[in-house]
Structure 1
Amino acid sequence: MGGTIKTSWYALRLKPGAARPYRHDERLTNIEWSLKREGIDYYMPMELAMKIHHRTKRQIDKRFPLIPGYAFMRAIPNEQNWRKVAECDFVSSIIGINGTPLALPAAQVELIQMAENSLRELYEYHKALRAYEEAQRLRKVTRRVAAEQFPAGGVITISKEHRLFAGRRATIVAATGRNTIKAVIETLNGMANAEIPLEFVEEVA
């Protein structure tokens, strides 16, 4: 009766330059390319940071080692060719005792993976927040410009997307510096004063 093949994690000490981007594929580091080429099952904990590209000047996601100088590999202890691993480009040594590779507790590697995932989620959250704030900044209309586009006394129609005053006509009282206009709105119960976001202004008469 066959059983599950048991693999273990091992730590690799890396040579200088191992974490630099591989010259033919910047999505990989030198050590990742080297281990992948040899068919070694590896894990390189990485974190992301926002950097400015030196040529295009655009913001890019840059990968950095979470544990500088180390990578991890998974292998079947009795079947792994350790000499092949030790001679792999950018591998300095295999962490062990008296030349024998030392298996790591699976829970230790899982904690590193959890930390990497948490940092990735936090980075993506802040990236999305920056993108939202930039979009809001670009959309912001100054009070002077808004006053020119939406002069007092003008009549507007409120778009159907507005929750309270969809499709209503309103008379502009004044533009604000908050991307809104103050208006008097015609309702079934008479006139109502409200601030209407500019995104809900459908038509200006």
Structure 2
Amino acid sequence: MATRPGILFVLSGPSGAGKGTVCKALMERGLGLNLSISVTTRPPRPGEKEGVNYFFRSKEAFEEMIRSSKLLEWAKVFDNYYGTPRDFVEEKLAAGEDVLLEIDIQGAMQVKQRFPDGVFIFLIPPSATELQARILGRGTETEASYRARFGAARQELAMMREYDYVVVNDVVERACDRIAAIVAAEHCSVSRNMHLLDEW
């Protein structure tokens, strides 16, 4: 029997939604998801590690990856590049394994064009007040960058209609419960299980 392709799950949302925190907690649940590590030109934040949180590259190295088509998607966000290495994602899906991308909205829309069968999950904070607190709580933002991020986040919320699911990140564990339920439901969808008719 031929191996069924894996499912591509894309988790994104506005800056400050808590994507990284939720993604880390989700991976600890052992759902069989392969996390794709993004490449970025921004400097590491305190505690971030090369090859764990991101692959940190120079602007020149990143632009060479663009030219050589080594990225599934890429975007420039607040003067820094972010992208998803192509080979890892395509190889895992072809082997029947699920892949999780944690990327920004620009990148998610690029991936949606290439993988329309992917599952797109929009993560949002419970309120604008909470969003402000999370962005400020990083302690890495200048006044100008904070205003830019908060303004962009409000605009990005309008992109929710382009996604399959929305998950409110009020409590990390509850957000993970909801995403785990989405993963289980997608594996049980009729469209992904038509091979059962042939086998019967």
| Fold equivalence (TM over 0.5) | no
Structure with bigger helix share is: 2
* Greater Cα radius of gyration, structure 1 or 2: 1
Structure with bigger strand share is: 1
TM-score normalized with structure 2 length: 0.29
